Chain A
Amino acid sequence: TQLLEQSPQFLSIQEGENLTVYCNSSSVFSSLQWYRQEPGEGPVLLVTVVTGGEVKKLKRLTFQFGDARKDSSLHITAAQPGDTGLYLCASRLAYSGAGSYQLTFGKGTKLSVIP
């Protein structure tokens, strides 16, 4: 089983600060997804990265996929209270069967942005 290690586990910052959270594995990712889970809700997909070295931007969020496809980072610029939530990385593992893939999650980084 591919383990996804996320760091830091908890992060509390002031509004306006920048931050970076990380997702690492000892194995190569075929692709990687980042989800955000707000309190009382299920996770929602933010982005999928596929190619080593890929950088994707979503407003103030920048996602980077490592060249070797074994790590990924999420950088938030000028964090806002609305960014508060649990940030999860996930990767799909191919398993034998009907061409389906099991989505495996890291433990997540719990972000609190204080106004």
Chain B
Amino acid sequence: ETGVTQTPRHLVMGMTNKKSLKCEQHLGHNAMYWYKQSAKKPLELMFVYNFKEQTENNSVPSRFSPECPNSSHLFLHLHTLQPEDSALYLCASSQEGFMNTEAFFGQGTRLTVV
């Protein structure tokens, strides 16, 4: 497999559930990201991992918990979400250290919280 792969593609969960989103990159990149894409807002950066260390947490509620066990895998653990958290969650990777480096995105997980 090549590129950035996200699973699952679709997820419906209740507000009391616990679920996890998975992202895997086969590009040898050193940075991985979680973005949230809602209907009426621009792509919002949630978390950044650079060399497996979290370097950015953009005021994301604690009900979202990221995990980066190695440079190829990234998880987003979800717990007691709200309906307004329904959105497309996109994972991306890049080779950081270069100003104009390209971000490679997965296909996203369409999350619906009921």
Contact = CB atoms under 8 A, between A and B. Distances in A.
Taking chain A's interface residues, is the majority helix, strand, or loop, or is none over half, making it mixed?
loop
A106 B92 CA distance: 17
B105 A43 contact: yes
Given A31-B99, A95-B56, A102 B50 contact: no
Contacts, number: 65
A92 B45 CA distance: 12
A95 B48 CA distance: 12
Nearest to A97: B55
11 contacts: A30-B99, A42-B90, A42-B108, A98-B50, A98-B51, A98-B53, A99-B97, A101-B99, A102-B48, A103-B33, A105-B43
Given A43-B103, A90-B103, A103-B103, 18 more contacts: A30-B99, A42-B4, A42-B92, A42-B106, A42-B108, A45-B103, A48-B100, A88-B43, A95-B56, A98-B50, A99-B96, A99-B97, A100-B31, A100-B48, A103-B33, A105-B42, A107-B42, A108-B42
